[in-house]
Structure 1
Amino acid sequence: MPKKLTLVLTAIFLMIMTACSAKSTDTSVATTPGSSPAATQATTATPQADKKLPRVAFVYIGVPGDGGWTYEHDQGRIMLEKELGIKATTVENIPEGPDAERVFEELAQKNEIVFGTSFGYMDAMVNVASKHPNVKFLHATGYKTSPNLGTYMGREYQSAYLVGMAAGKMTKNNHLGYVGAFPIPEVIYTINAFTLGAQSVNPDIDVSVVWSNTWFDPATEKQAAISLLDKGVDVLAAYQDSPASIQAAAERKVWGIGNDSDMNRFAPETYISNPKWNWGPYYVKTVKSIMDGTWKSEAYFGSMKDGITDIAPLGKNVPADVKVLVEKKKQDILAGTFEVFQGPLIDQDGKVRYEQGKKMTDEEILGTTWFVKGIKGVIPK
């Protein structure tokens, strides 16, 4: 090969190698030792996302598999994650008491927002909130608030009234039963609303109440249900998170009413309906307000109109005329033309608590410690 051609080819080769070397040097600047460009991009993107999205945690009294209370809260969490792109932390099966306070303390050190989903968490959340003023705490069903602690609840009594109407139409012997969870205001006023709804279509109704003192204990709740069934009630309602009561009723071929979530699948042949929760919109709205800096502590008491509570579809064996009756009253509630707790309201001892036309205030409803006329049972002190 002629020397001149050899020199030309050598020069071209050196130019190509120099260009490749320069390209390699540029790439190494964009990476860190031992990482690929893709890994570096993920590393730098994550902190930016973390700054925009708060860390959120939920504390559950039970497990989502309960098919009731905790299941519906978990559905709300899922909606929150989908709408805001947040991956929340969940802690399940946390009993009310000292263990709860320990869990809330640990979560407060790692999260900006903490939701507690049981009444009995109240004092634990109050104590932990006082130590972490920069963390927002939201407590379901409680009544104590502070600058960084709010409460949230829905007017489940509206749904309970509608279910009571259906129960009043379905009974044959006018004797209904109700398995109460704990003798706290939210349970008491729900039983009252159920009774008033039943009496609105059947004034001869009476409702026998027993207490399980549980939120989720199927064995105990079933025994409580059986004690009422043995007394001859032909419609049985319950306030617990499990379907144990309506399953016990189904075994006796007695109409059953569940709680918290649509429980039709547990006793489809004898199912009437039940109050149903929908927490998702509240969780989304609340977290958004915290993110944009507009959140303020409050005692939120939502309604059927807000969508936080509703009535599950009436069972397949509930007559069409009953479904029409209940739907009409539901529309009255949504339109604001009907109030559940409006006088005359008479307690089980015959005392007039509210005169004709007088409405109970929210504070009075949330502080209810008495049963309406027609309820057989005592409220333990």
Structure 2
Amino acid sequence: MAALSAWFWNERFWLPHNVTWADLADPAPGVEYPKAGHLFAALPLALGIFAVRILFERFIASPCARSLHIHPGVGRRAQPNAVLEKVFSSITKNPDSRHLDGLSKQLDWEVRKVQRWFRHRRNQDKPSTHTKFRESMWRFTFYLCIFTYGFRFLWQSPWMWDTRHCWYGYPYQDFLIMFIHHLATVGLISFSYVNNMTRVGTLVMCVHDASDFLLEAAKLANYAKYQRLCDFLFIVFSVAFFITRLVIFPIWVLNSTMFESWSIVGPYPSWWLFNFLLLVLQVLHIIWFYLIARIAVKAMLRGKVCNDVRSDIESSSEEEPDTPTDGLKASPHAPKGENGTNGHCAAAKARVQNHSSW
């Protein structure tokens, strides 16, 4: 294990030339540098944030939802049927015509009745609008707070106004102010934390946080059935996403990580890794914005926001139509509340929550 650890943390890969881990482990008095062991603090922090989320959803988000007449409620449940339940659990949740015909004959039910059973059974597993509202209100509050905190800190930092300061003196840069801020994220940012790319990391996180809370605000408006407000917020989110991810990120951040760091610090092996990951992230930005733009255009043409086609986890808990509607579009004049007209301003964070790490 020692040999494996030594190979993985090879300082000639992770650090610039003429810098060693020993240099970072023995700083001058009053100076503190990041250490890999600090990342373990993220575990209790994550549990603490999870506890705060539970309390927030129960005592703040739920009353807000009820005040907007969004009640938990219990959707229509499928009638108990052992045969269909077995098919649903072990074979398919959305049977094709062959399965439907077979089940119809076996149970002596009409095909439409079998379809309806599977539809009701699928809806049982979907979160209610009340649940989704609470989750979105938590994410809105968290994203807004973390963005406000990050922006407030960066406003006083010289590297926000001149990104070359991200690389002056690297990696011998004090990190104490950034410690809590960086513990808020895990994943790819762990490596950037260990080799002390904290300054440029704050810029990356701030750029990504700038639009997240707008998306959650749009979803809250959608769940509360304020469709015009939802559409407006989604358009604002789309514009903010474009400006931050497709303009500021490549021109401001990528320019610094690829060119300014090259001239000030010089390239080294992990430099290529981090810039590759940032370029991959930029490619994802382009793909996501294409999908977002499609929704925004449909919102302007139809007068309402449709499902976010990036999301494969956010889905309507409302009733599906009794007959297949593949390829059909919802009428722009249908009343609010009908399936397909109450559109989702949803996003996948998985967070592609994706976008908070680099």
Q: TM-score, normalised by structure 1?
A: 0.21
Q: From the two aligned structures, give the one with the greater strand fraction.
A: 1
Structure number with larger C-alpha Rg: 1
